[in-house]
Structure 1
């Protein structure tokens, strides 16, 4: 056992699978991760009608584990009436946690909706449902891809927290100092709620690089170079990735991070290797 208290304050994120086989597999992954007694599971949200229904179905299945399950809720492309219905449905189903996001700007001519920013969504949820839901919002330690600069980004973040959020979950990152710097800036603006680091396991370099470019997460050059040198050797990539991310998690916890939120990509093994490293 390390000096960290166990159980760790860990949580896990899933996405709604497109296929029945993917859904069956996710139930197994859910059970494996539920055995680690996480604080909560979250389920990402696709915009648009069909994926909304799929998200709700997956949320129901994940919450059958008995672990608190927090669906993502996005305001871009949603009207208030639609959100009001969704909040009512979640309440009926016993869901009492949410992750409130702005969501992606629609490509083409899609409607932005009545609520433009996550702080407005948080205010709306509080106005509609009082304190029923525990609300998490997103944080971007390396700055939101569309923010003018980090200071402006942290001001926007503080606005979301003051609108009534209970905690924040960050975009993934690989540089611990970026997280600590962001937390210091947020605290200086009066944010007192927990800011939980989001953790991405490294299992596939090509996918990670593409994903990171799209969302503005920096892969440090030394990590890129090392991953490139392994070529298609997926075992070497996974071993190196486990080591790097485990060390990152240790630094974060030692530096006072209130927990860790793992982006599982609907796989149990990569995150469990990291979690086991932290509790050995």
Structure 2
């Protein structure tokens, strides 16, 4: 694949069985030699310890890993402590996000937005961390308008982010338009395309409804037509997403960030398809 900016995302497992399965998947994906692995957290940073534990496992295996860090619901002191812990373990990359409040939670915390978190990271730690932030080519589902969302993104970058990773999407034009608009606001950092393999129609629809990612009508109807035929869903999904990746890279996307869902097969299949083109 014609990019060295290729990364893979995991979520922290909640059970011993899940941890074992992730180790097997990670060992397989590590053979693809990604630039780094990232590890997410639960709402309100609720799995932050699990995130760190998983990151440290990855580092101990000899790979680069980046924990996700949210500011929502947290205090400056609590975030300062997390950053200090990251530094003490030699962690050099972090994905800085606002995050979502868990249901029933009261306040948003002392740092309300991801731009506040990025600024705080820089004030506390200087240039120690390579900071990634999120981008939404199809507009954040809670944004007041596309223009407001774009301005929010620019604020995060200008606060000190080194790069961005997009929410997944299946419309390459949305990505290219977003990048063009961001450049006009002075955003000059790499904007890496987030890629979600298609393996399960019901799961994909649920995720997409939550995060605001659009499933093109022709893709949605084709997937629905397969019913419970998972082999056909995966084969069609591989075709759709590999063509998307090829177009993104050919159009100048600086890299790809794969949402693995803790599975090796779908990302490996995409990688192999792309490596052969």
**Which category describes the TM-score, using the shorter chain as reference length?**
over 0.9
Q: What corresponds to 1:66 in structure 2?
A: 62
Aligned to 1:104: 100
- Could you tell me how far apart the structure 2 residues matched to 1:65 and 1:231 are? 40
CA offsets 1:63-98 (integer angstroms, 9 cap, x no match)? 223221110000001111111111111111111100
Q: Could you tell me which of 16, 23, 36 is aligned with 2:12?
A: 16
Deviations 1:256-278 (A, max 9, x none): 00010000000011011111111
Judged with a 3 Å threshold, the aligned counterparts in structure 2 of structure 1 residues 49 and 15 are, in CA distance, closer, same or farther, namely closer
Q: Select which of 269, 272, 277 maps to 1:276.
A: 272
Deviates more, 1:129-138 or 1:50-59: 50-59
Residues 27 and 61 in structure 1, CA contact (< 8 A), matched pair in contact too: no
Other-structure match for 2:113: 117
Q: Is the contact between residue 12 and residue 42 of structure 1 (CA under 8 Å) also seen in structure 2?
A: yes
Q: Secondary structure at the match of 1:172?
A: coil
Q: Distance in 2 between matches of 1:167 and 1:78?
A: 23
Q: In structure 1, how many angstroms separate the alpha carbons of the residues matched to 2:44 and 2:231?
A: 37
CA shift at 1:186, angstroms?
Answer: 0.1
Q: 1:256 maps to which residue?
A: 252
Distance 1:183 1:57 in 2: 34
- Over aligned residues, Cα RMSD in angstroms? 1.2
Task: Determine if the alignment matches structure 1 residue 57 to structure 2 residue 53.
Answer: yes
Alignment of 1:1-280 (within 5 A): 5=2, 8-47=4-43, 51-280=47-276
Tell me, yes or no, if the aligned pair for 1:106 and 1:112 is still in contact at 8 Å: no
Over 3 Å counting, the alpha-carbon distance change for 1:197 and 1:40 in structure 2 is: same
**Per-residue CA distance 1:85-129 (angstroms, 9 max, x = gap):** 111111111111000000013422432110000000000000000
- Give the whole-Å Cα distance in 2 for the aligned partners of 1:13 and 1:190: 28
1:10-66 alpha-carbon deviations (Å, 9 max, x no partner): 100000011101101111111111111111110001245762211111111122232
What TM-score, normalized by structure 1, do the two folds share? 0.96
Unaligned runs of 5+ in 1: none
User: How far apart, CA to CA, are the structure 2 residues paired with 1:232 and 1:71?
Assistant: 35
- Equivalents in 1 of 2:180, 2:65: separation in Å? 29
- Report deviation, 1:174: 0.2
What is the distance in 1 between the residues matched to 2:60 and 2:264? Answer: 18
